[in-house]
Amino acid sequence: MSPKTPKPKETAESRWLSFRPEIKVLDCTIRDGGLMNNHQFDDKTVKMVYDTCVAAGVDYMELGYKASRKGIKQGEHGCWKYCTEEDMRRIVGDNQTNLKLTVMADAERCDYHEDILPKKDSILDMIRVATYITQIPTALDMVKDAHDKGYETTVNLMAASIIPERELDEGLEMLAKSEAKAIYLVDSFGAFYSEQIHFLVKKYLSHCKPADKEVGLHMHNNLQLAYANTIEGIIEGANFLDATMAGLGRGAGNCPMELLIGFLRNPKYQIRPILDCVQNYIEPMRARLRWGYDLPYLLTGLRNLHPRGAIRFKELELKGEKGDILKFHDDVTDQE
- Is 265's pLDDT higher than 60? yes
Residues 302/307/313/319 CA torsion (nearest 10 deg): 150
- Is 101's pLDDT higher than 90? yes
Confidence grade of residue 318 (pLDDT, cut at 50, 70, 90): confident
Query: What span, in angstroms and rounded, lies between the C-alpha atoms of 50 and 69?
Result: 25
Identify the CATH homologous superfamily for domain 17-288: Aldolase class I (3.20.20.70)
Query: What span, in angstroms and rounded, lies between the C-alpha atoms of 318 and 38?
Result: 15
Confidence grade of residue 204 (pLDDT, cut at 50, 70, 90): very high
Confidence grade of residue 11 (pLDDT, cut at 50, 70, 90): low
Residues 198/204/208/210 CA torsion (nearest 10 deg): 70
Q: What is the pTM of this model?
A: 0.93
- Is 8's pLDDT higher than 80? no
CA-CA distances (angstroms) from residue 249 to 27, 37, 48, 162, 318? 11, 10, 17, 21, 17
Structural domain boundaries of the chain? 17-288, 294-334
Q: How far is CA 231 from the centre of its chain?
A: 15
Provide the phi-psi class of 220: left if phi over 0, else alpha when psi is between -120 and 50, else beta.
beta
Confidence grade of residue 2 (pLDDT, cut at 50, 70, 90): very low
Per-residue confidence (pLDDT) for residue 5, from 0 to 100: 52
Helix (H, G, I), strand (E, B) or coil at 162: helix
